Structure 1
Amino acid sequence: MNTSLAHQQLIELWPDQPPGSAGLSLVQTVEERSPDVSQFRDRAVTGIGQPTLTVWKPAQPNGTSIVLAPGGGYVRVVLDKEGIEIAEWLNTLGVTVFLLLYRLPGEGHAEQSKVPLQDAQRALRLVRANAAAWGLAADRVGAMGCSAGGHVIGSLATLFEREVYAPVDLADRVSARPDFVSLLYPVITMDRRWAHPGSRQRLMGYASEVGHDAALEAAWSCEKQVTTEVPPCFITHAADDASVPVENALDFHRALLACKVSAALHVFESGGHGHGIRLARGKPVEAWTGLFERWLRQHGWIA
């Protein structure tokens, strides 16, 4: 592993074939969905065979870092509005961001439910294992996720000790537990009543739609996996979210409080789903960035 850290450096998560992807041939595709790229980019990535971290390094790093998982309903990874745009804002706070391009569970991987968590655990471990060499603090490595990326990071926050892959090198000896977590309009539960249907189907497979596997459902419902070891959490959601019901955030927050985990929850009157920063402007949810910055300062993760 290169001991220097450059802006927009690309880091492959796995030295060889990722676990559960042997023999799978995927062609990574980037689709531009913006009607006017001179105004904004809106890229969606599919066919992710080799997951990566892209470094977004601030001009004046303060030692704090965040592994950032964008959303996309587990059918794509939305690169710009829930990735790069948030990373650039976090850079203004001195936070080094590692943008996670994780494998999508419905693209043919073995044990598909484990794939996003495998990549999230590995990403967190790589950042922590290399923190000293990269000028970062090993005890200030956070994780952040939006929508289905919120499920990736919610799973990491609750299942950081679950053995979902065999160790591949020394990095896998360090803890995958984030020091803090931020979840924006997150997919949390696989409970049919409140689950995002597309994320549920792709994570759990077609069988989840024709039958009912209570054990599998509970295993991947983050609110069912909360313990006292979950790191402090900052959660936001809009009450009018028509894609991922606000009950996802409410039930997760309730579970955190029951285990006496430090947790902040902000439910906004309106703002919809998938707003990130750009689409939050002029809506109540626009306040989330200021609230998150204050939360980071109050906890000492930024000065």
Structure 2
Amino acid sequence: MTPTRRAVLGAGAAMLGAAAGPGALAQTAPGDEVVRLWPGRPPGARGTGIVRKVTDNSKDPAHPDRWVMGIDDPVLVVRRPARPNGAAVMLVPGGGYGFLAYDNEGTEQAAWLNARGITAFILVYRLPAEGWDQRALVPLQDAQRGMRVIRSGAARFGIDPARLAVLGFSAGGHLAGSLATRHGEAVYAPVDAADRMSARPDLAGLVYPVVSLDAGITHVGSRDNLLGPSASAEALLHASVEKRVTAETPPLFLVHASDDRLVPVANSLVLYDAVMKAGRKAEMHLFDEGGHGFGARLPKEAPGSAWPALFHSYGVRKGVFRA
């Protein structure tokens, strides 16, 4: 029986699927534009074998629903619009820091962004529990590096480096929120000229995000995959997004469903409150139905299905997107 996202996230990390062939990215198509994040081995590499694994939970080959694990060489997968307008979004799929929901929170999001003229970059980032030194920093290392690689290649990608957003989901929302609040934190040693670029996104969208690592509201699987099951109180505080809001935090866009039983809506509420207290900008949309992990798949009659249009409108008002 195919495991549900709820079952896997509820249990933390799980081993899924079959290994990909040697050197294969497994989930990418032959024509995909793939950009490596690091010129050599990523920070924290131990030299241990990490094997790519992909599970497709869809029964319709035309609409895959792949979960990706075993990421030893993180990349950006570029999806370009037919009529680019210069805006770009780095997409950060979720999966409890135990897998990446590559289609639901990656390729499907890229499609609606492309339809609005926005270039999309799907971040295939490393998973902290797969065998890395300083595991708590590994996803943020890749997210910071991803923003810098995109900015440094702005001319090549046909984008404006001052109109670059991040959009993250679930645990990917925690990573996007961490990038928005910790973009200036030195989490790795610079490796080339790209690292002279800013890692600050101009806008951050967080959809049903894990925010706080406080035991009362956190998603335990995400917390334990990121920090380990015996993290100190100091480590939990350091990695809680709502505790890291500063005067340099970009505008935030928050989406959550009140009936989310996996990541409580309180996560978005505490972050919105922190942003307001810091005098920063944020817009939040809460829907009474939708659950968790809906991506862009809610039926049109569901109020929450409007969130992509709302996010785009917010980005237009903030000068990142174009009407």
What letter corresponds to residue 305 of structure 2 in structure 1? E
Instruction: Supply the distance in 2 between the matched residues of 1:160 and 1:24 (Cα, whole angstroms).
Output: 29
Match of 1:254 among 265, 269, 273: 273
Show the 5 A alignment for 1:11-26: 11-26=35-50
Instruction: Supply the distance in 1 between the matched residues of 2:106 and 2:299 (Cα, whole angstroms).
Output: 15
Is residue 270 of structure 2 the alignment partner of residue 286 of structure 1? no
Is residue 211 of structure 2 the alignment partner of residue 188 of structure 1? yes
Is residue 181 of structure 2 the alignment partner of residue 162 of structure 1? no
Match of 1:9 among 15, 29, 33: 33
Match of 1:265, SS?
strand
- 1:33 corresponds to: 57
Q: Deviations for 1:146-175, whole angstroms, at most 9, x for unmatched residues? A: 001001111100000111100000000111
Is the CA contact (8 Å cut-off) linking 2:259 and 2:290 kept in structure 1? yes
In 2 relative to 1, CA 172–231 (structure 1 residues): closer, same or farther, beyond 3 Å?
same
Cα distance, 1:293 vs structure 2: 1.9
Match of 1:277 among 272, 296, 321: 296
- 2:10 corresponds to: none
What letter corresponds to residue 179 of structure 1 in structure 2? D
Is the CA contact (8 Å cut-off) linking 1:106 and 1:203 kept in structure 2? yes
Q: Which runs of 4+ in 1 moved over 4 A?
A: none
- 1:3 corresponds to: none
Q: Deviations for 1:220-278, whole angstroms, at most 9, x for unmatched residues? A: 00000001110011110000000000011000011111111110000111110000011
Instruction: Supply the distance in 1 between the matched residues of 2:45 and 2:97 (Cα, whole angstroms).
Output: 16
Cα distance, 1:281 vs structure 2: 4.0
- Larger mean CA deviation between 134-143 and 117-126 belongs to 134-143
Match of 1:204 among 199, 218, 227: 227
Show the 5 A alignment for 1:30-179: 30-38=54-62, 40-179=63-202
Cα distance, 1:37 vs structure 2: 2.5
Cα distance, 1:294 vs structure 2: 1.5
Is the CA contact (8 Å cut-off) linking 1:271 and 1:280 kept in structure 2? no
Match of 2:254 among 235, 240, 256: 235
Q: Deviations for 1:108-165, whole angstroms, at most 9, x for unmatched residues? A: 1111100000000000000111112322101011111000100111110000011110
- 1:4 corresponds to: none
Is the CA contact (8 Å cut-off) linking 2:218 and 2:267 kept in structure 1? yes
What letter corresponds to residue 291 of structure 1 in structure 2? L
Cα distance, 1:214 vs structure 2: 1.4
5+ long unaligned stretches in structure 2: 1-30
Cα distance, 1:206 vs structure 2: 2.3
Match of 2:130, SS?
coil
| TM-score (norm. length: structure 2) | 0.88
Cα distance, 1:283 vs structure 2: 2.1
Match of 2:315 among 290, 296, 299: 296
User: Identity percentage over the alignment?
Assistant: 46
Instruction: Supply the distance in 1 between the matched residues of 2:46 and 2:138 (Cα, whole angstroms).
Output: 13
Is the CA contact (8 Å cut-off) linking 1:8 and 1:57 kept in structure 2? no
Instruction: Supply the distance in 2 between the matched residues of 1:127 and 1:280 (Cα, whole angstroms).
Output: 33
- 2:19 corresponds to: none
Match of 1:181, SS?
strand
Match of 1:149, SS?
helix
Match of 1:132, SS?
helix
Cα distance, 1:202 vs structure 2: 0.5
Instruction: Supply the distance in 2 between the matched residues of 1:24 and 1:62 (Cα, whole angstroms).
Output: 42
Instruction: Supply the distance in 1 between the matched residues of 2:88 and 2:60 (Cα, whole angstroms).
Output: 32
Is the CA contact (8 Å cut-off) linking 2:148 and 2:195 kept in structure 1? yes
Is residue 233 of structure 2 the alignment partner of residue 214 of structure 1? yes
Instruction: Supply the distance in 2 between the matched residues of 1:119 and 1:130 (Cα, whole angstroms).
Output: 16
Cα distance, 1:280 vs structure 2: 5.0
What letter corresponds to residue 106 of structure 1 in structure 2? A
Instruction: Supply the distance in 2 between the matched residues of 1:54 and 1:67 (Cα, whole angstroms).
Output: 10
Cα distance, 1:31 vs structure 2: 1.0
Is the CA contact (8 Å cut-off) linking 1:48 and 1:103 kept in structure 2? yes
Cα distance, 1:18 vs structure 2: 0.3
Instruction: Supply the distance in 2 between the matched residues of 1:93 and 1:133 (Cα, whole angstroms).
Output: 20
Cα distance, 1:35 vs structure 2: 2.7
5+ long unaligned stretches in structure 1: 1-6
What letter corresponds to residue 182 of structure 1 in structure 2? G
